[in-house]
Structures are given as structure tokens and as C-alpha cells.
Structure 1
């Protein structure tokens, strides 16, 4: 008799943890960013990140897409090359994830999104899970090729695990 056991993959676990940690960033009435300290804050203040999803070239087709609230974070997983530790049993890999942080373009006031990037790093740096460890920032890039929005791409790296048996 076989028993099916659900095991979360590294990408699924990373996605869930990133989304949960982004929900910890709040914004108060004075547009100041902070980290939520319990449920009391969540009842009074707004979440700073309004939308989280998987990346699907979302900013390239703004006019054709269903609008999503901003700031938004889209998670893109880079190809993963697994190395066998024990063939057929255990694998490890360098896992890279791009966070496409999309904010409204505020002409002349382009510093707010950089403060958001710092708060995002604050809640994500050092994340660990069952299938990954040492999640941390690797590369940052700002994409100005859009009329209405600014897209900052923050690349994070971690060591991923895959256990098959």
C-alpha cells in the first residue's frame, strides 16, 4: 500500500515565504514604511506591497493586462541546475529569484521605491526553509523603459534542496 505524501518544492516554498514576508511591510498615513509588529498594526495600517504574483512579463503589456494594484512584486525563478549529492535521492542547487518590484512613476520623486526595496530586503534577508537556506540579495537593477511605472529588479540567491526519497 502506497501513501501519498505532499512535499513542497523549493520554488513553492520560496514563493509562499516571500509572499508572507512581503505582507509584513506596512505604510502609515505619513507614507512611512515599517515592519508590522503583530495583528494590531495590520488592523490600523495598510500593507505597502499591494500585489504579489509570479512573473509573466507583466510590465511589458500594461495596456493589455487586467490592472493590478501597485506597488506590486512579481517573482521570477531563474533556471535551476541541480547537482546530485546522492543520485536519485538528494540534490542541491544555486537558486536565483528575480523580484520585479513595480511602482508608479512619480516624476521628480524617485526615491520612495528605493526605500521600499530596503524594507523588502529587511524582511527577506536570511530566510531559510525546509528546501532552501541563506536567501539573500545578489544584484539590483532599475528598469526605466516604461512610461507609467518603474521596475526595479532585485535578484536574490539561495541554496536549494531537492529530496526525492
Structure 2
């Protein structure tokens, strides 16, 4: 009788450990359900930000023998930092930030490095572009691009530096 009692106790204890195993299929089904719900609930397609992103044009500009990555986007001046006269039609952008504090910090460092025309512009999203050099001619922009790209003090992540062309020029305040 004791043996049957021990076997019954062992079986009762063992059942939860062997009967309800989670496996990869369970995790995958739960992940797919959450992913589908997130995609349908995000609604990013209908937002103004998606429209702004679609309006920006990524391309390449050939300047002399070089091909410079280019983005054409609607930008405006950052209040208290830049004026419409500070931003010309060809701008070498070295970074993009979501917070104006970070963008201003990099702009000040660039000015300390000798980039006296360094300034900021913002999109409607708002994203802040840090511009190291701004010029009126494509040739000057090409030369400035090479200088900024070669400058080790200006650390830029891919795809920066790039040529930023405002969609509407001259800029409004």
C-alpha cells in the first residue's frame, strides 16, 4: 500500500512538469498576435508625420566628379538660433536630433571647431538638423562636404554628412 501511495504522489507531482510545456509554436503565435495588433493600432500611416516623411526626397547630387548624398526636405529656422539669411540653398548637415538641446550642443562644438556658419534648422515633425556649412553654390558645397567628411573632430554616423536642400527657399522664420 505504501508503494502505491508513493507512486500516486510522484505522479501527481510530475504531471504539472510534463503536461504543460511551452514551446516555440506557442511563443510564435503570441508574438504574431501582438505584432498584428500593434500594426493595426499604430495608425502611423494616417499621421501628419508620415506625410512629412514622404515629402522629403532622398537622392544624390553630382558635383564635379563627386556624388553627394542629398535630402530635400521642408525646413524652417529654429527660433533664437538661426535666421533665414543664415540658411542658404546648399547646406552640409552633419546630424539630426529629436531634441533641440542635443542639436544646439553639437552646433556649439562645430562653432568651436571653426565652422562659424554652423546653424540649426527644424522640420515640422520636429527633427533638428545641425548644419556645419551653408553656401549658395553647388561647387562650394561639394568642397565643404569633402572638408567636413575628412574632419575627424566631426563624428557623424551614416548617412551623414549629407547635402540638405530646403524645399522652399528662402526660408521663412
Alignment TM-score, normalising by the size of structure 2: 0.29
If you compute each CA radius of gyration, which structure gives the higher value, 1 or 2?
Answer: 2
More strand by share: 1
